[in-house]
Each structure stands twice: as C-alpha cells, then as structure tokens.
Structure 1
Amino acid sequence: MDKTKPTIMITGAAGALAQQVIQRLRENANIVAVDFREQVYLGDEIPSYCIDFNKRGFEDLFRKYNFTGVIHLGRIMSSQETRMRRYNANVLGAQKLFEFCHKYEVKQVLVLSTYHVYGAMPYNPALIDEQAPLKAAELTMDLIDSVELENLSTIYLWKYPDLNITILRACNIVGPEVRNTISKILGSEYAPTLLGFSPIMQFIHIDDMADAIVLAFQTIKPGIYNVAPDDWVSYQDALLRSGCKRVQIPSIPPVLPKMIIKTFNLKKFPTYLVNYFKYPVVIDGRLFNKTYNFRPQKSLSDIFNYYKERKLMQGKGEY
C-alpha cells in the first residue's frame, strides 16, 4: 500500500453502491473492502475480507491497516436474515465498529442510513427534516435495527467528536445493479400497488448517491443529513414511467394486504414496508445540498427510462 495515501475501510463491499464509492476513491486512497455476506474481488491492489464484525478477526484489520477513515455502507436488509441475526450484525456489529474506530484513532466515519427510519404514517409533514423523531420502530419490528443503528451512530457522534461521524439518511436509491425493494419493483414487469393509494416518493440514482457519499467523506462536516433531490413523483406514476404493469392489491382492512403478500409470497413487496406504499415519507434534503453544494445529475426521467429500456431489451432477448 502507498503510505502517502489515506487508508479507508469500506463496508458492504459486495453491494453496488459500495463498489461505486470504491471506484471513485481508489486512485487517491488505499481501500480495504469488507463485507459480512461474501468476499468480493475488486482488483489485486484492494484487500477484500468476508468477516463478521463481532468476531475477533475484525479488530485485527484495524491493527494491520491503521485506517484513516471508515465508510460504513454494510447493512443486512430485513428480507435477508432473521431478526436476531440482523440485530447482531447491524447494531452490535456497528457498536464494535465504532469502538474500534475510537480505540485505533480513526479520524472520520461515514454511516449510510435510510429515510425509512422516520416511519410511514398518514400524519407525516410535507417535508421531514433531520430534527424529526424516528418513528419506524413504533410501527414495525422489522425496522428496529435500522433505527437502533441510527441511534447508536448519533450517540457516538456526540460521545466521540474526534471520530467526525457523518450520518446520511438517503431516500430511495435506484439504478443499475441496485437490489433493494424499490429497485426490484421498478425493474419488474408486474408491480404491486395498494388500491386507493399512490404516495409521493423520492428517488436518487446510484451514481448521484455515490457522489454524495464521496463528497461528504472528503468534506469533513460531521452531522446528520437527509439526502434527496428537490423533485418527487407519485408511486403509481413512477411505475408507469418505468414500464411496469400495475397489479392492484386490496388495501382494507389493513391486515388484508399483508395476508395477500404472505399467501402469494410476494417477496418484492415485503409486509414491513407496506405503509411506505400507502403514506408519503418525503424528506427535506436542503441541508445536505446547501452544506456540500450538492446537486444530483440524474433526473427522474433518466432513472425511469433505465428501467423501461431494460424491460424492452429483455422483451427482445437482448439483455
């Protein structure tokens, strides 16, 4: 490794977003890629590890590489593991990460969070800023670890100011190779909707989100920031513009859509996110945009055209 360059750990290295971030930083920094799901090959010059944050070997990485900074993008989604294993990885694992960062004098930590922590409910304000309470844990057990990770990050933000922790609450991240719920839905030929509901949603392209992460990491301004564009669109309009055929699911009584989802095993429409397809959760990204002079480069048309064109190519057998 080049000792004249900073050394950065990037977690969640198997994910598309982490790999975009790595590509943007690899020329000017020594990158160490870490993931607790699988080991990925990113070139001979980038050490890559598949490791549990709660295992002894994780601390060995801090001893070996003397990290300047950590970009924490690794989080197990609710559909991937049991609730207890998710909690151990997302919360207890993150606590180990913060403690090691403090112990080995890491100078900067960036944590990727999600707008889901605010919770989806009919009385949400039109624009939710960073001071709003995190209500997701009150609505579903499956988002408790997301809220706990946020709370933990905030505690360490104030407990150890020397870590210069930055927390980014992103809106829906979409685009090539993204495997989250909303991207899978937009990429599907048939997409579920709740009868009578079409909440306003925000989308940010993976390229722009990677740019936002790198910008926030390179410009050290600790704090909590929403990351979202200034425009938004209704869910059903997003489906139409992405070339999806809508499948209506009865929305009342409230238990009915969850029963239908479980009965037909609609994995692309998880029950714990049902309320996010009923009620708008529109976050205010002005603080981040002003602080970092950030403007997304990809428009909503760019985003939806990607999914629409992909379906056309698949239909022609070209994909």
Structure 2
Amino acid sequence: MAKQKRPQILVTGAAGALAQQVIQRLRDHCDLVAVDFREQVYLGDDIPSYRIDFTKRVFEDLFRRYQFDGVIHLGRIQSSQLTRMRRYNANVLGTQKLLDLSHKYGIQRVVVLSTYHVYGAVAYNPALIDESAPLKAAGLSSDLVDSVELENLANIYLWRYPDLNITILRPCNIVGPGVRNSIGTLLASERAPVLAGFSPMMQFIHIDDMADAIVLAYKKPVRGVFNVAPDDWVAYQQALKLCGCTRIPIPSVPPVVPRLLLKALRLKSFPSYLIAFFKYPVIIDGRAFSREFGFRPQRPLREIFHFYRENKKPV
C-alpha cells in the first residue's frame, strides 16, 4: 500500500510566537516550510526556514521547490513595527504577491490572520460586532490602513479564486507567553497608562487557544471571514488591576495632550493610533467561528491574568 503523502504547508511570520505555536501543532503530521520578512529563525532540522521579502523574485523559488498544498499567512507586521511605508509593502504588497503565487501554483488552502482592529473603535459601535460590520479603521487612523487593505485584498482573492479556499480570521487581543504586541506589553508592565474616565470592555484570547483556532481553521476548508474571540470580556482597567499593574491616568482631552504625555513618559506600548481602543469598546462576536469549527477556548481570563501578574517586566 502506497504511503500517504504528508501535506506541505508554508507558514509565514515564523519569527512570531503564534506562528511557532502553530508549527509545533502541525510538525508531526505535515511537512512545513517557515518564512519571515524580519529574520530567519531555527525551528529544528526538519523545518526549512528562510528570511525573505515576499515582494522579491526569490520568494517564487520556494513555490517551485516545495509544491505547497496550503499556506498559513501569519506574517502581518503590526502597526508598532517598521515605518509606515515598509509596513505597507510587507502587509499589502507582500500579501498580494503571496496570494498571486498561491493561485499560480495551485494552492488549495489558505488561512490569513487579520485583526479585530480593522473594525475601528468609535463611540457608536454596536455592543457585539459580527463579521458583516464595516471596516472603519482606515478612516480613523492612517496607521491601520495597511491592516484594512490586507483584509480587503484577501477578500478579493477569496471571491475571485474560490479554489484557494481562503479563510480570514479576525482575532481579539492575542496575549500570553511570548506575545510581543501592544496589549501584551501593557499587561506585562509594572505601570500602565489609562485614559482618565475611560475603561472600555476588552476581549483576550490566549496564544495557545489562538494557535488551536488556526489549526482547526486550516484543517476544515471553509471559505469566509470569521471573528475569533471568547464569549467573555473585562474592563481594561480591571484587567490591569488583575495583572498587578499600577495604573497611570492620562488626560484624554484635548487629543494632543495624551499623545504628548505618552511621548514624554516614553510609553511606546500605548501607541497614539490605538488610543481610541482604550476609550471605546470593540467587542466582537466569535459565535460563527465557534459553531463552524467546533472551537472552545481552554484558557480562561483568570489564567491569562495570573501569567502576567507572575511575570512582571519593569518599564
């Protein structure tokens, strides 16, 4: 009896903790190739790893060499990283090149990681935001334009090339060991800023649960866009308290004041383009993903906050 061929999967964003968690879950039954725009990482002798700019011609060589069955695109550069132009090139032009090559080489499964930030934080957001809500972030902050454009691009390919079986995931705040995003840095800090008079509800998903969600999504080729979030939430200031953070009130008006204060205090973990997310709640409805993929987060908020309380980092 012929031995069944193991799926060959390209995983982008390999330098990130989330991609490495996904790789650990897949490596026993898939042949993986890891790439990252920022750095080359060693993931074991069994996993080829590359540092490659997706917009360069050499990127196509990987598709010729490995004959991928699927792509898990976790390589979105966060808004706190790189300059705006380099981030745009990586997130938008790089993703376009990745999807073009996926179509050209007959890839049959693509999972794209987006972010709940694309919805934008405004005072009149609905209490629970589902996948049909408009993506307002681009009109609110130029620093989030590339996140929205990445998603719009993936949506175009989702409908234009149904054979790619594209699934787009919009997770809430991903936190936990190894996560280096803005909210994770805040929860790990001994002192963290808050906007005086504001404490919006927030959702958090543990990196282990998010990695499980990505693997579930990859294994079941359902096309579409899905929020990924638990069905509980907590006020931002309460989250800081439970994580053992000392809260630093920052005046919220006029708008220039918090920006100047944050710059003076050198609080880079509280970037000005995300200030609205610390003022207005953005609670996403993750029920469609839970129903379709049978997803149930295993790490409760108390476990998340206990980790940050026990692992404080001086600012």
TM-score band by shorter chain is over 0.9
Partner of 1:129: 130
- Partner of 1:98, secondary structure, is helix
Partner of 1:69: 70
Partner of 1:259: 260
CA deviations over 1:58-82 (Å, ceiling 9, x no partner): 0000000000000000011222211
Partner of 1:172: 173
CA deviations over 1:157-213 (Å, ceiling 9, x no partner): 000000000000000000000000000000000011000000000000000000000
The letter for the 2-side match of 1:41 is Y
Partner of 1:291: 292
Partner of 1:150: 151
Partner of 1:95: 96
Unaligned runs of 5+ in 2: none
Partner of 2:220: 219
The letter for the 2-side match of 1:291 is E
CA deviations over 1:62-116 (Å, ceiling 9, x no partner): 0000000000000112222111111111000100000000000001000000000
**Distance in 1 between the 2:14 and 2:139 partners?**
31
The letter for the 1-side match of 2:27 is R
Once the 2 structures are TM-superposed, how far is the Cα of residue 266 of structure 1 from its aligned partner?
1.5
Partner of 1:230: 231
CA deviations over 1:256-275 (Å, ceiling 9, x no partner): 11121223332111001000
Partner of 2:274: 273
**Distance in 2 between the 1:295 and 1:139 partners?**
32
**Distance in 2 between the 1:220 and 1:155 partners?**
17
- Partner of 2:179, secondary structure, is coil
Partner of 1:210: 211
**Distance in 1 between the 2:129 and 2:184 partners?**
23
**Distance in 2 between the 1:79 and 1:227 partners?**
22
- Partner of 2:178, secondary structure, is coil
**Distance in 2 between the 1:105 and 1:192 partners?**
48
**Distance in 1 between the 2:46 and 2:178 partners?**
23
Once the 2 structures are TM-superposed, how far is the Cα of residue 309 of structure 1 from its aligned partner?
1.4
Deviation larger for 174-183 or 302-311 = 302-311
Once the 2 structures are TM-superposed, how far is the Cα of residue 235 of structure 1 from its aligned partner?
0.1
Partner of 1:105: 106
**Distance in 2 between the 1:243 and 1:107 partners?**
46
Q: Percent identity over the alignment? A: 68
Partner of 1:79: 80
**Distance in 2 between the 1:192 and 1:300 partners?**
21
Q: Please report the TM-score for the alignment, with normalisation by the length of structure 2.
A: 0.97
**Distance in 2 between the 1:247 and 1:101 partners?**
47
The letter for the 2-side match of 1:168 is L
Partner of 2:195: 194
- Partner of 1:224, secondary structure, is strand
Once the 2 structures are TM-superposed, how far is the Cα of residue 3 of structure 1 from its aligned partner?
7.6
**Distance in 1 between the 2:307 and 2:174 partners?**
14
Tell me how many residue pairs correspond in the alignment.
312
**Distance in 2 between the 1:284 and 1:94 partners?**
26
- Partner of 2:114, secondary structure, is strand
Unaligned runs of 5+ in 1: none
Q: Please report the TM-score for the alignment, with normalisation by the length of structure 1.
A: 0.96
CA deviations over 1:121-177 (Å, ceiling 9, x no partner): 000000000000000000000000000000000000000000000000000000000
**Distance in 2 between the 1:270 and 1:130 partners?**
26
Once the 2 structures are TM-superposed, how far is the Cα of residue 255 of structure 1 from its aligned partner?
2.1
**Distance in 1 between the 2:78 and 2:130 partners?**
24
Partner of 2:25: 24
Two-structure CA RMSD over aligned residues (Å) = 1.1
Once the 2 structures are TM-superposed, how far is the Cα of residue 239 of structure 1 from its aligned partner?
0.2
CA deviations over 1:29-74 (Å, ceiling 9, x no partner): 0000000100000000100000000111100000000000000000
**Distance in 2 between the 1:263 and 1:156 partners?**
43
Once the 2 structures are TM-superposed, how far is the Cα of residue 222 of structure 1 from its aligned partner?
1.0
Once the 2 structures are TM-superposed, how far is the Cα of residue 252 of structure 1 from its aligned partner?
1.2
**Distance in 2 between the 1:139 and 1:305 partners?**
34
